[in-house]
Each structure stands twice: as structure tokens, then as C-alpha cells.
Amino acid sequence: MTNSPLTPGVAPARLDPATIQAHFADHIPAFDAHEARVAADRCYFCHDAPCMTACPTSIDIPLFIRQIATGTPDAAAKTILAQNIMGGMCARVCPTETLCEEVCVREVAEGKPVEIGRLQRFATDGLMAKGVHPFTRAAATGKKVAVVGAGPAGLSAAHRLAMKGHDVTVFERKAKLGGLNEYGLAAYKTTEDFAAREIDWLLQIGGITVKTGVSLGGGVTLAGLEAEYDAVFLGIGLAGVNALALPGEDLAGVLNAVDFIAGLRQSDLASVAVGRDVVVIGGGMTAVDAAVQSKLLGAESVTMVYRRGKDHMSASLYEQEHATSAGVKIIYGAAPVRMIGKAAVEAVEFTKGGETFTLKADQVMKAIGQTLTGAPIAQDGRKLTKRAAMVWAGGDCATGGEDLTVTAVAEGRDAAEEIHAVLMGAGA
């Protein structure tokens, strides 16, 4: 979006290119080999491994950390990738502070967990840098599976199915693969085009045909896929965005946070337009990513407003603290009432504890969740569930929007295993 007469406060290039580049450098630097060995040596290699239980993909964390500690990081990478083929991205974006690291014995005893996420990144990045794909495809089964949606769930399912020997066709409505990983994550978490590089590496398994610019209801139908393929996996995500349904919501300068993030990820950062006074409404990771990146792009004032208390935010305390450390102000317990302005937004009115207050704003981002509403699945007269006949579903479209790459990967993997079992059982 470029500056326009309707949005005089919204403009690109608020900061010089060098400053913007520095602001969007790698959020958490990678370990070198020495740092990784030192970090790995802190692990107690617990027998009951609470970290492994907390991982949605059930990675054998003590094993891969032991493999790093004993100087075999490529073996560690294979341990990780056997459970989570997108372990490289998850190492960057997983909320480890509320998953594996939160239950780490070191965290409980000392307040400082083993840095599991950074160790996972060290192992997976090292293997990927060699151009090595650790898995080989099984003998062809003669079965064909359609995967609709090339986000984390769809790609995870496609890889596991191809590895089992099935022929997989992936249908993706956008020009690029990746879904949330490509379009929905903060740029400082996924530097150097990592999402695309990881997908190129993943596709090395073979047996996967990709068709972009094709969507359910826009080129293919569920009934048609069922007729042509032996099984179908739906990982279509959540394309709809919840509305505030407030006066002034249609004013210029009011936009969906997911659109802002997606545009930022696909643009030269210096060309991304941002307001001088930005207000972000919502309390999840999308809200945090939109707010922090607005500040990094040069917005003078960025305020997140969430309707409930601090402990109820879906964004973790770690991410909330990250936002405030970046200069974002967070107001809790306040609900928006209306957008104020003539042609373009000028302010937002909120209510808190029975009183109202107003925040100046030339750009307002809505981050109150996404929805399956309007998804073309309805055209076939069926409600989307995780399993119906030879159709499976996973990721946000099936779970209601947990918005975690790691959960989507786990669901895609597990669906693929079930599809394989059913297909091979039916063919026995």
C-alpha cells in the first residue's frame, strides 16, 4: 500500500533502508557448533522427558540433544525430521516458552531452560545446508492422493504420503507454497527466505506434483477430487477474517492484520507503508507480529488493545514482553466502540471499566481471529470435519485456528499415516 490523499499519515520508507534491514535481522541468532555443544550439555536427558510430552509432534528431544552433545548433529536432525519434517521452521517460530521449554527440568529448577528451539535449529539448518534429504521414497503403491492447501498441514501430509510411495498432487490457491509459513509469520523470524528454501528441500522426497493458482471451488471440487483420487487431504487453512462490526470499520486506513503481514512478507520492506500512529486490536500472535513490525518499520506510536486481561491473551507472556521491549504499548481490558474519521480513520474509541477513551490513529489493524466462513467446502453440501469417507482434514481449517505451525504439521503427518493405513488395507 502506498500513501494516498485518504491516508495522509500512512507512508512507506519511514526509516532508511539500512535501519530497516537491521531491524528485521534474524530475531534469535543461530548457534555455532561450540555454543550448541555447551547448550546441549545442560540437558539432563530425563527418562520421562516432559519436554517430549509437551511437543505437539512428539520429537524425541533428549535423544536429539544427546546426539548434538556427542558430535552427531546430522543424526539429531534426522531424529527431529522423522517426527516433524518442518522442524527447521518450527525451531524458529514455535512458542517453545509455553511448550517444551516451559516444562524443562532446568526451567523448573533454575528459571532457565535448555534452549531446545535453538538446538533444533542448529541441527536442522546444518543438514539442510548440505542439501541432504534424510529420507527416501518407498516403492510406488499405485495410489493417488490429492492434498488441497500447501500450508504446514498440507505439506506435512504430502511429504509423508510421498515417502510412503503414494503419488501426491498438491493444489494451492496462491502463487507460492507455504501458507502460514510464507504469508503469516513475522519477517524477523523467517529471514533469508527460509520458508521457500525449506519447501524446496522438502519436495526433494519426490512423488509430489504441485499446482498453484488452483483452489477448492476455483478450479477443482471436492466431488471431482474424490472421483479422481484414492484419498483427499484438506489443509485449506482459514481464509476468512473476523470483522469487528463497528461504525467506521470501512474507513480508509482500517485493515486486516493478516493482510498487512502478508504484504510485508512479499515486499521490499522499505516499500511497505505504515502509519505514524498505529492501533492493533487483538491479543494473539498475529496482533503481536503486526504491532512489532509496524514499530520496526518506523511507526512513532504503536498500541495493542486487548479486550481481556494479560493472562488471557493467546500470545504468550514472552511475546507480550517482546512487543513492549520493541516499543509497543499494550492496553488490557478495553473493547473498541467505533472508528472515528471522515474519509480516513483518525482515531479509535474504546471502553474500559465503564469509561471511554480515544486513541489517535491513522492506521488500525484488526487481529481478532480468522474463520472458515465462506470456504467452498460448503458447495458440496458437507460440513468440514477431520474425517469423512476418504476425505481427511487438518490444520487450522479443522481445529478452528490454533495458528501454530507445529500443530498443523502434526495433524498433517498423522492424517497421512492414517490415509496410508486405510489405502494399503483396502488394497490388501
8 within some domain: no
Question: Residue 188: is its pLDDT beyond 50?
Answer: yes
The C-alpha atoms of residue 193 and residue 198 are separated, in whole angstroms, by 9
Question: Residue 3: is its pLDDT beyond 90?
Answer: no
pLDDT at 386: 64
Q: Report helix, strand or coil for 392.
A: strand
pLDDT band at 5 (very low <50, low <70, confident <90, very high): very low
- Calculate the CA 296 to chain-centre distance: 20
pLDDT at 377: 57
| Statement to judge: residues 392 and 326 lie in one domain | no
Mean pLDDT of 45-61: 96
DSSP state of 4: B
CB 85 within 8 A of CB 410: no
10 within some domain: no
5 within some domain: no
| Statement to judge: residues 325 and 256 lie in one domain | yes
pLDDT at 371: 81
134 within some domain: no
Q: State which of 347, 369, 391 marks the end of a domain.
A: 369
Predicted structure pTM score:
0.93
177 within some domain: yes
pLDDT band at 110 (very low <50, low <70, confident <90, very high): very high
Please state whether beta strands 335-341 and 329-332 pair in parallel, antiparallel, or not at all (unpaired).
unpaired
pLDDT band at 378 (very low <50, low <70, confident <90, very high): very low
DSSP state of 350: E
Question: Residue 375: is its pLDDT beyond 80?
Answer: no
46: left (phi over 0), alpha (psi -120 to 50) or beta: beta
DSSP state of 363: E
DSSP state of 274: B
Span 274-298, pLDDT tens digits:
999 999 999 999 999 999 999 999 9
Q: Which three cell numbers stand for residue 406?
A: 507445529
pLDDT at 9: 87
pLDDT at 241: 86
The C-alpha atoms of residue 22 and residue 29 are separated, in whole angstroms, by 13
251 within some domain: yes
43 within some domain: yes
CB 137 within 8 A of CB 206: yes
The domain of 44 spans: 33-129
Q: Which residue has the higher pLDDT, 389 or 125?
A: 125
pLDDT at 2: 40
| Statement to judge: residues 359 and 379 lie in one domain | no
CATH code, 86: 1.10.1060.10
DSSP state of 145: E
380 within some domain: yes
CATH code, 200: 3.50.50.60
Please state whether beta strands 370-371 and 240-241 pair in parallel, antiparallel, or not at all (unpaired).
antiparallel
| Number of other CB atoms surrounding residue 100 within 10 Å | 27
How many domains in the chain?
3
Span 203-245, pLDDT tens digits:
999 999 999 999 888 889 999 999 999 999 999 988 778 899 9
Q: State which of 129, 152, 170 marks the end of a domain.
A: 129
Question: Residue 265: is its pLDDT beyond 90?
Answer: yes
Span 326-340, pLDDT tens digits:
999 999 999 999 999
Question: Residue 385: is its pLDDT beyond 70?
Answer: no
| Statement to judge: residues 248 and 360 lie in one domain | yes
